[in-house]
Amino acid sequence: MALRATTECPPHSTNAIVEEIVRVTNDHSDELTPRSAETLMQLLAEQRLCLIFSGEVLAGWAVIEPLTKRLSELGMAYVKPEFRGVGVLRELLQLTAMRSERIVYATYSRELLDYSVASWGCTELKLWQVVLLSRGKFITKRLDRKTRATVRAHLDKRKPLFAITDRNRVVGTWQ
């Protein structure tokens, strides 16, 4: 299966892809924080919506949202169930790691966090460190009602773990 990671969407399918992402994130709002179609279109225009295709089929996505001038957050990462375990997430993370700004992300998977530290040079952080690095934006962007409900649902089930990319510390390979 040939995977293609990109921040560009074929113009003829942009609306359908954005609609699919909105539908899936709304269906999984206990796991993902939904974004509006308008927000996703803006992120796409800014090359902050990362897409993974298997052939012409959308296999997964993530958004990169700015927190400060040199720090962004990887969010809403999702891989469709039928594409899990075949390298889609690895391709997605590789695409984000190529960006000039540092990327922070939250995960509930110790396995994913350990993999990202060992294989692509991330550093594990505590929440207070993320808040300091983002000048509080990591917290303040979660204060609207819909986002708070999603965060609360996450925290009821598990504890978040945090990591940040460090382009000067890549220790493994993407293979």
Least confident of 9-23, 71-85, 134-148: 134-148
d(C-alpha 119, C-alpha 24), whole Å = 29
**DSSP-derived secondary structure letter, 136:** T
- The pLDDT tens digits of the residues spanning 27-77 come to 987 778 888 999 999 999 999 999 999 998 999 999 999 999 999 999 888
Whether the predicted pLDDT of 155 surpasses 70: no
SS3 of residue 91 by DSSP? helix
Domains of the chain: 3-169 (3.40.630.30)
Q: Which two tokens stand for residue 70?
A: 């040199």
SS3 of residue 65 by DSSP? strand
- The pLDDT tens digits of the residues spanning 110-119 come to 888 898 888 8
d(C-alpha 18, C-alpha 36), whole Å = 9
Cα dihedral angle (43, 96, 108, 71), rounded to 10 degrees? -70
